[in-house]
A and B are shown apart, each in its own frame.
Chain A
Amino acid sequence: MAKKTIPKREVLEVLERKGERVDEQLMEAGEYEVTPEHTFTIDIYLKVKSNRWIVMEGAGKGVVQEQVVMRMWTYDEMVDLKKRATTYDPLKRIHMVDHDALNRMKLQKFIVSWTFDKKNPRLKLQHQNGVLTDESWNAFAKLQTNISNHIIDEMNSVYEYNG
């Protein structure tokens, strides 16, 4: 069956009737705008020593390389997450950011994929509505602390300290 082509004018009229902005619908994201394709990769170099994994500075003999892919956060996402992680202490009259909660939300929302699941299927990441499932979060929590801390540090070096 031949695909029916809707004339552009009709599309515009429908969009206008719906109250949606035509330019918003037709204009693609430009430079500087974050899209799902805007990701960065965290490299993790690991080596087994005394039956535990230690994080190395770079590649070398017996060093395994793993990668975590994360998406860049938009300004609006940053404000929303920081708002959720900020509490107010009325006695001290100060705002406090719970950095552990903020890091957790960043990881849950922005981890796209990682290579840890290649050798260990129990560490497979799954998303629902753009957020890591609870099982996947538990997978992250199962990582050795030095590895998870390294991921958090590298992640924040991009999000908070511009890479």
Chain B
Amino acid sequence: MELMEAPDRVRVRVNVSCKWGFYLPDKEGEEEVEAVFKVLTFGDNMVIEKVCAYRVPVHRGQKVTEYDIQEMRRLFVKRNLLSWTLPVPVERENGWMTKESYQRVSRVAAPLLDTLIDQFEDHMAVTKEDEEQMSRQASVLFSKNSSGVTDACEGVRLFCTLGNFWEKFGLDRHSIMDLPYREYIILKMMQSKESESIKRESRSNKARSQTKIIAGHGGRARPSQGIVVGD
């Protein structure tokens, strides 16, 4: 339901209990803290990586780019935390949490905010299981005589749908979202019909010689006789 209401939001919840006068994550805790994060986009990630990148010297004076992972997590808070149920105000400006707001947010007990970020990160993680499934289906999809993949995983589905729609109709990841669903279905059906026909054609062409016959079968090629038009 949440996904339908706001697909660009990640809602995470942590149970907490009060110990020594402050709140800590506790699975058995009766109180719940909820935080809403903006989905991390490619653009967000690019900006964050740029800020957190530094060059590390390696073998023979070469340098590689590495990222400050602790700072990246801090920037997730500044960039992606939109609101929460804690009585600590979250204010944002130009796509980032304001400096003043972050000063207060960062005073929250570390284990609590850390757990919220862990859960946010879990939402964008590609699990080992996902990766294995993708590898399996990719090897089928990209094999020589592939006829597609049944029960495609998210990766294969996205790859094929977005790739095909961009190639044929110029629809990108955002514009495809506004396409009426009926039209999407019709176009998908047409695509499968097209691929069936291409397959049929390639099968029927296989046995034939690669040389194309220009003239019709059975007769000698001769020049046109022309049409006589009366005066």
Taking beta carbons and an 8 Å cutoff, which residues of A are in contact with B? 21, 24, 29-35, 37-41, 72-79, 82-83, 86, 88, 90-91, 93, 95, 158-160, 162-163
CA distance A21 to B93 in the complex (A): 15
A selection of 21 A-B contacts at a CB cut-off of 8 Å is A30-B87, A31-B86, A32-B86, A34-B107, A38-B20, A38-B21, A38-B22, A38-B109, A72-B22, A72-B109, A74-B106, A74-B109, A79-B70, A79-B71, A79-B74, A82-B70, A83-B68, A159-B110, A162-B25, A162-B26, A162-B111
Of B58, B66, B70, B108, which is in contact with the most chain A CB atoms at under 10 Å from its CB? Answer: B70
Write the chain B residue with the least CB distance to A37.
B21
Quick check: is B124 within 8 A (CB to CB) of the other chain? Answer: no
Of A34, A40, A79, which is in contact with the most chain B CB atoms at under 10 Å from its CB? Answer: A79
Q: Which residues of B (46-69) have their CB < 8 Å from a CB of A?
A: 56-59, 64, 66, 68-69
Q: Which residues of chain A come closer than 8 Å to B114, judged between CB atoms? A: 75, 78
Asked if residues B68 and A34 are in contact (CB atoms below 8 Å), the reply is no
Quick check: is B96 within 8 A (CB to CB) of the other chain? Answer: no
Quick check: is B24 within 8 A (CB to CB) of the other chain? Answer: yes
- Chain B: interface residue count, which band? 35 or more
CA distance A32 to B104 in the complex (A): 10
Asked if residues A30 and B74 are in contact (CB atoms below 8 Å), the reply is no
Nearest CB in chain B: distance from A72 CB, A: 5
CA distance A79 to B113 in the complex (A): 11
Of A30, A73, A77, which is in contact with the most chain B CB atoms at under 10 Å from its CB? Answer: A30
Asked if residues A75 and B58 are in contact (CB atoms below 8 Å), the reply is no
Knowing A32-B87, A75-B109, say if A95 contacts B64 (CB, 8 Å).
Answer: no
Q: Which residues of chain A come closer than 8 Å to B58, judged between CB atoms? A: 90-91
Q: Which residues of chain A come closer than 8 Å to B69, judged between CB atoms? A: 86, 95
Knowing A33-B104, A38-B20, A74-B106, say if A88 contacts B71 (CB, 8 Å).
Answer: no
